[in-house]
Amino acid sequence: SDDAPGCEPYRKMLALHSRALAMASEPKGDVDADDTEDAHALVTSTNHVMDGVCALFVNVAAKRKATLAKLLTRMGGVAVEVDDEQGEVTHVIASDDNIVLAKAMDDLSDDVIKVNLEWITACFKQSSRLSESDYAPRAHVAALPEIPHIDDMSQSVSTTNNAMAPVERKSSQAKRASALMLKGAHGEAIWTSDFVDNEKLEKRREFFVCQPNAYTEKKLVMECNTKVADILAELGEIYKSALRDEYRGKQYNQAANALRALNFEVTSTDQCDSIPMLSKKTSKIRKYVGEILSFGKLKALDEMKQRPDVKACLELTGVHGIGPVTAHKLFLKGYKSVADLRRAPKGTLSEPQSIGLKYVEEFKERIPREEVSVLATAVREAANTFMDDKVHCYCVGSFRRGRSSSGDIDVLVECRDESCMTDLLMHILNDLRPGGKSPRSGILTDDLLVGDVTYMGVARLQRPLDDSDTKPPVHRRMDIKIYHSAQLPTALLYFTGSMRFNRSMRLWAKLKGFNLQDKGLYADREQVEMSRIS
DNA sequence: GCCC
DNA sequence: CAGTACG
DNA sequence: GGGCCGTTACTG
């Protein structure tokens, strides 16, 4: 997924969005800047720039809409939620990259002015009302088919826009908004996903781990370059956990994974050419690969491992709840090891971190499949004592992928009644906590986080699986999540993973014009609720 | 650290 | 709301 | 030189 070349358009789209966000939030910084007099002048000069503007944001993500609306209001304009046909809307504001909208806006009457998001921020920066025509939303439909192909069955899901439209529109407000923006020739709903260039996307299919292809099989069989990869990954881990350089660490890890995925052994740096990120002769990681091939080790890594701060932070981040930043802060306070932390005064660590500390060693142990099964079954049994309703539970994560051991236990609970999801969770917790009268009482030993529909905590078997085992059962990380039936399919998909598979699948969905989340699949990239596919 |  | 941790 | 996964839900 990370290496899929098909991600550029999406990256660009994201870049556009974040730029818009950055610009939108900028004024606050400006006003707070040192030169208050200028800042004041700026505020007054932009005060009336948008007088008389009544804007309707269409198909703009909620967060961005809020930011821009605030900015608009500061400049004297008004943002409305619905076009209530009183003709008060003067401007329709949409993003450049929204294909559907750009298309639908062609059909809009000329008495509203169509502009992109940049217009607002540009006007603010220039302190004047800029020409709307310079900021007309750009449509990128030219290269795409006017009418979606329905010739290929594998793509039909993404191109359906007829009577059997998969789209369920929710609120009346959503309907109203869609009346404005989704004027298809026959009044049908049209979404971003209807305009995807599937032919082009098809060529990239092989690069996605979420798609059936040869790449997946290759990876299962081969185990090459593990030595080089392990060293690079170790360096990556140090950058991420000890040096708080997330992105540098990520590069090392990505390079390590790419080398592991190769189906041949690399014996010279020239063989790195097939890996995009290592293909440049000047690549630093490529040089490191050469050094490892020649000497079997990496000087930079060995030196790094000698550093006391690195040693300390690596050990401290091993505690659940302590990340790179907290580890560094603790190091500066003089804590250099888990043993030091155990001597720390109460209050040094947060409650969840203290629990993480209590079980550091135990949490690092893998959980045998059999034990995952037993503990998850306890959750299912607890859930099924709730209101006589047959509650379905799924043990997800690596267990559901068939792994023989797992790092933690992840249980997904389906609740048919949206109104009692929290009750169900509380019922399960009470059943499993110590001191109760259920046969499962005491399975949960500690809580890390108790939310409305989310639980993160600690569980352990009441007695060893093997009767002859005298050691007490190991404490395990356990998560329980309650999902409403409507959200279950995508929740299952999401929590079954793997993470890499998920990221690939989400990207694939994005490029298809969909938006895949744990709570649902949406036919449009951004406007979430109204394009929900039921 | 690498890509755009 | 920013910072943090997580999968 | 800016951006780098998206989301959830906590803490402060």
Under 8 Å between Cβ of A68 and A41 = no
The residue type at A166: P
**CA dist., res. A417 & res. A427, Å (int):** 14
A279 CA vs B1 C1’ separation (Å): 13
Strand B within 7 A of A19 CB: no
A8 CA vs B4 C1’ separation (Å): 10
Strand C within 7 A of A326 CB: yes
pLDDT at A485: 83
pLDDT at A508: 75
Residue A507: count other Cβ atoms within 10 Å of its Cβ. Answer: 21
Which nucleotide's C1' is closest to A247 (Cα)? D4
Which nucleotide's C1' is closest to A67 (Cα)? C1
**Nearest amino-acid residue to C3, taking CA and C1':** A325
Strand C within 7 A of A322 CB: yes
The bridge status of strand A54-57 relative to strand A78-80 is parallel
Strand C bases, protein C-beta under 7 A:
3-7
How confident is the model over A281-333, as pLDDT tens digits?
999 999 999 999 999 999 999 999 999 999 999 899 888 888 888 888 888 88
pLDDT at A40: 25
Which nucleotide's C1' is closest to A515 (Cα)? D6
Domains and CATH numbers, chain A: 5-135 (3.40.50.10190), 141-190 (no CATH), 226-305 (1.10.150.110), 308-358 (1.10.150.20), 367-497 (3.30.460.10)
CA separation, residue A255 to residues A250, A276, A486 (Å): 8, 10, 39
Main-chain dihedrals φ then ψ at residue A115, nearest 5 degrees:
-135, 160
pLDDT at A157: 32
Give ∠ CA A316-A318-A322 in degrees, rounded to 5.
65
What pTM, to 2 d.p., does this model score? Answer: 0.65
Which nucleotide's C1' is closest to A66 (Cα)? C1
Under 8 Å between Cβ of A303 and A235 = no
Under 8 Å between Cβ of A431 and A530 = no
How confident is the model over A8-19, as pLDDT tens digits?
332 333 332 333
H-type alpha helices, A277-337:
284-295, 299-306, 308-316, 324-332
**CA dist., res. A91 & res. A26, Å (int):** 23
Specify the length of chain A in residues.
534
pLDDT at A207: 66
Strand B within 7 A of A127 CB: no
Strand B bases, protein C-beta under 7 A:
1-4
pLDDT at A95: 59
Strand B within 7 A of A320 CB: no
**CA dist., res. A438 & res. A366, Å (int):** 28
A25 CA vs B3 C1’ separation (Å): 26
The parts of chain A modelled with pLDDT lower than 70 are 1-48, 54, 56-74, 80-89, 92, 94-112, 116-118, 121-127, 134-196, 204, 206-209, 213-222, 389, 524-530, 534
pLDDT at A462: 93
Closest CA to A394 of A366, A414, A374: A414
Which nucleotide's C1' is closest to A353 (Cα)? C5
- Token pair, residue A243, equals 């040096």
A22 CA vs D2 C1’ separation (Å): 12
Which nucleotide's C1' is closest to A497 (Cα)? C7
Strand B within 7 A of A273 CB: no
**CA dist., res. A226 & res. A166, Å (int):** 46
A349 CA vs D11 C1’ separation (Å): 12
A490 CA vs B3 C1’ separation (Å): 32
Strand B within 7 A of A299 CB: no
Strand D bases, protein C-beta under 7 A:
3-12
Radius of gyration for chain A, computed over Cα atoms and rounded to the nearest angstrom: 28
**CA dist., res. A43 & res. A87, Å (int):** 30
